[in-house]
Structure 1
Amino acid sequence: MFHGRTKSGLLLIFDPEMGEGIGEVEETVLGKRYTGYALLFRRSHNEETPGRNKTASGHWFWSAMLANRWSYAQVVLAAAVANFLGLSTSVFIMVVYDRVLPNEATESLIALTVGVGLAFLSISPSNSCALALLIGPGKRPTCLWGGAFLTRF
């Protein structure tokens, strides 16, 4: 494991074959043994999950939900808009069969068709928005819930 360089240019490495501790090796010696593959490690490890609130108290599920309540409110709003726009097909068919066709109202049919077409065009971005809003906030509670759940057992 590479730990750095000395001021004289030697490499500081940990190699179990060299014994305990960190040894000094010339770069040419290490170059002969190097196979072209390396494992990379971080210098320090953080035991806590990033963004985890250590002082969070309360129920493990509801405390994580309340910490991200604004994000979930946005997701609920985007999903409600998408579902409301999804109802436009049912209303369109009902209005066309009950009102437009019996009265031969071509102008109304054109206006309804344009309106439903616009609704269909906005359903996909609305669903994509709801999904994008859910991905980011969904990771944080998952980390919090996982840690809280595992500590109970």
Structure 2
Amino acid sequence: MKKRLGSILVLAVVVIVVVFVRGNKSPVPAETKRSSQESSQLSPVKEEKQVESRTLSFSEVDSEGIHQAFGYLTTAEIIEFLHQYKDEERIVLLDDHTVLKGSAIIEGVKTTIEVDSETDPNGMTVADIKALLVSRQDELDKALEEYLAER
């Protein structure tokens, strides 16, 4: 079990490092491009100038979404993982539950959007995310137990 969690943590670190290194105006890997059906399900088109949002609010995402983003770790392990960042640094959760620090270009069906964790309205400081995790610790740990029991 610890070996599995260690592997997941290493994978999460690698993903974040790759996103961080490639984040400055580098194209997003092909796997993250969305099909036209997926993009049309994100939000209805209200007018031509509507800007698609590709980020989620950490405070509004459910426990499953938090665990998808951080690799099904306990709350304490997620907080430990976040210690690699300064408390004042901002990160953002993309709509595919990828955690982003920095900026990235995301290609959509009709548009290409640049997401920047420092300026995105859904971006949060690491300190605020840690506080949110602590406030939801019981809920998050229960969801993790249920997830692991199903496996």
| Coarse TM-score class (shorter-chain normalised) | under 0.3
Q: Output the TM-score relative to the length of structure 2.
A: 0.21
By percentage of residues, which structure has more helix?
A: 1
By percentage of residues, which structure has more strand?
A: 2
Q: Output the TM-score relative to the length of structure 1.
A: 0.21
Larger Rg: 1
The one of the two structures with greater contact order (alpha-carbon pairs below 8 A, sep at least 6) is 2
